[in-house]
């Protein structure tokens, strides 16, 4: 097991006794079909997975900074870039102009040789120049206080051994079709499983179908999840039933946009997952109609207007958590099991 170095943190660290009484906070920030998910531990350590888009008058950077302010943060300790596509890494230059970042985590060199991706990577490298930088590898544990965050995929590689308590044969692998190899950065996504006491959260970035199957077939190396950040914004290039049904999440969160993600076929796979209690969405998916969207209380943004509402999860070490929708002040509690 490789534990990554802990860089100096300017945040206040509560005593372990006080921190144990405080929850983990997760903000699913609306970046209009990209990803920006902020984790804030009881000790006020912070991890931001992806930064949304750039070139939008600081829209996404402002939304991230606003969420950080709500959480009482003056800086973000770690920014993890899952892969080098515009909706994930594009916002880094604007984010670092808005607020301090302690260190950056990514999968290493770009593997997708296109002009657009090469340009994004160049801008990213310029923005983080001089900052502490970690290249994540499967099996690494991120240096966060109060939460165990283990890397399960990076740069096209996945963990060789199952996570603690996982490794059982996966019956959902039977009859799942294979898909063509994915040559893009999506297949290089940094995937993370986060554990907070009894609570488990799975976020695989935009990891695509074939790499998902490497994680869960023939045996499920990941185990179960309480919260699943639906891969690839809910696109059907990802979210194989072998993965989703093996995770058997209680709650699935789609970080989709109005016209991106939450495809009907992927939505059906998630909806039919055993043990699923609820789906939450950042946006109503216009193409799906009412049949492949959840009801109004569970959607942060219900119109195409750029309202920017987020979703927030407040979680506890006993495995219980609450999801809150600030648009309508609706919340739902999920008791410990």
Tens of pLDDT, residue by residue over 116-166, are 999 999 999 999 999 999 999 999 999 999 999 999 999 999 999 999 999
Closest Cα to residue 154, out of 145, 141, 170?
Answer: 141
- Predicted pLDDT at 6: 63
d(CA 199, CA 172): 23
For residues 263 and 260, give the distance between their C-alpha atoms in angstroms, rounded to a whole number: 8
Contact call for residues 159 and 204 (beta carbons, < 8 A): no
Report the chain's terminal Cα–Cα distance, integer Å: 29
Per-residue model confidence (pLDDT) at position 289 = 86
Closest CA to 39 of 253, 302, 272: 253
Relative to beta strand 46-49, strand 76-80 is: parallel
* Nearest 10 degrees: Cα torsion 96, 141, 248, 290: 0
Q: What is the DSSP secondary structure assignment for residue 139, as one 8-state letter?
A: T
Do you find a cis peptide bond into 127, omega within 30 degrees of 0?
no
Secondary structure in 3-state letters for 24-91: EEEEECCCCCCCCEEEECCCCCEEEECCCCCCCCCHHHHHHHHHHHHCCCCCEEEEECCCCCHHHHCC
State residue 7's pLDDT score: 60
pLDDT at 3: 67
Phi-psi region of 289 (alpha: psi -120 to 50; beta: other; left: phi over 0): left
In order of 198, 293, 334, the CA distances from 241 in angstroms are: 24, 19, 24
User: How much is the pLDDT for 1?
Assistant: 63
- Nearest-angstrom CA–CA distance, 300 and 13: 32
- Report phi then psi at 216, rounded to 5: -125, 0
pLDDT at residue 222, rounded to an integer: 99
Per residue of the chain (337 residues), give pLDDT as tens. 666 766 644 443 443 444 457 999 999 999 999 999 999 999 999 999 999 999 999 999 999 999 999 999 999 999 999 999 999 999 999 999 999 999 999 999 999 999 999 999 999 999 999 999 999 999 999 999 999 999 999 999 999 999 999 999 999 999 999 999 999 999 999 999 999 999 999 999 999 999 999 999 999 999 999 999 999 999 999 999 999 999 999 999 999 999 999 999 999 999 999 999 999 999 999 999 889 999 999 999 998 888 999 999 999 999 999 999 999 999 999 999 9
User: DSSP labels for 281-334?
Assistant: EEE--GGG-GGGS--GGGEEE-SSS-----EEEEE-TTS-EEEEETTTTEEEEE
Which pLDDT tens digit goes with each residue over 222-241?
A: 999 999 999 999 999 999 99
DSSP 136: -
Instruction: Compute and round to an integer the Cα radius of gyration of the chain.
Output: 18
Q: Are 92 and 127 in contact (CB under 8 A)?
A: yes
Domains, in order of start, for the chain: 24-334 (3.60.15.10)
Cα separation of 315 and 321, whole Å?
4
| Contact of 52 with 90, CB cutoff 8 Å | yes
Single out the residue of 123, 159, 125 nearest to residue 139, CA to CA. Answer: 159
Q: Look-up: residue for tokens 């216009």?
A: 286
- How far, in Å, CA of 192 to CA of 267, rounded? 22
205 near 184, Cβ under 8 Å? no
How many other C-beta atoms are found inside a 10 Å radius of the C-beta of residue 55? 13
pTM of the model: 0.94
Distance CA 12, CA 203 (A): 27
């Amino acid at each position: 097991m490789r534990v990554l170095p802990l860089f100096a943190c300017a945040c206040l660290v509560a005593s372990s006794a006080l921190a144990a009484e405080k929850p983990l906070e997760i903000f699913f920030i609306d970046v209009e079909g990209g990803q920006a998910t902020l984790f804030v531990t009881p000790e006020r350590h912070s991890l931001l997975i992806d930064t949304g888009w750039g070139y939008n008058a600081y829209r996404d950077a402002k939304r991230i900074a606003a969420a950080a302010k709500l959480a009482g943060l003056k800086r973000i300790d770690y920014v993890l870039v899952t892969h080098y596509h515009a909706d994930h890494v594009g916002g880094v230059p604007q984010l670092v102009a808005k607020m301090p970042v302690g260190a950056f985590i990514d999968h290493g060199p770009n593997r997708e040789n296109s002009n657009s991706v090469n340009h994004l990577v160049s801008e990213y490298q310029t923005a983080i120049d001089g900052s502490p930088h970690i290249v994540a590898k499967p099996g690494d544990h991120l240096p966060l206080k109060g939460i165990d965050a283990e890397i399960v995929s990076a740069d096209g590689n996945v963990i060789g051994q199952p996570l603690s308590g996982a490794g059982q044969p996966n019956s959902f692998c039977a009859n799942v079709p294979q898909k063509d190899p994915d040559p893009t950065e999506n297949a290089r996504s940094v995937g993370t499983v986060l554990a907070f006491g009894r609570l488990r959260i799975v976020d695989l970035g935009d990891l695509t179908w074939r790499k998902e199957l490497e994680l869960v077939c023939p045996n499920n190396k990941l185990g179960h999840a309480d919260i699943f950040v639906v891969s690839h914004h809910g696109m059907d290039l990802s979210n194989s039933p072998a993965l989703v049904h093996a995770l058997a999440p209680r709650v699935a969160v789609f970080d989709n946009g109005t016209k991106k993600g939450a495809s009907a076929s992927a939505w059906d796979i998630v909806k039919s997952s055993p043990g699923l209690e609820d789906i939450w969405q950042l946006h109503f998916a216009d193409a799906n109609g009412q049949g492949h969207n959840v009801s109004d209380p569970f959607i942060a943004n219900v119109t195409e207007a750029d309202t920017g509402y987020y979703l927030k999860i407040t979680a506890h070490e006993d495995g219980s958590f609450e999801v809150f929708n600030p648009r309508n002040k609706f919340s739902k509690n999920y008791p410990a099991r």
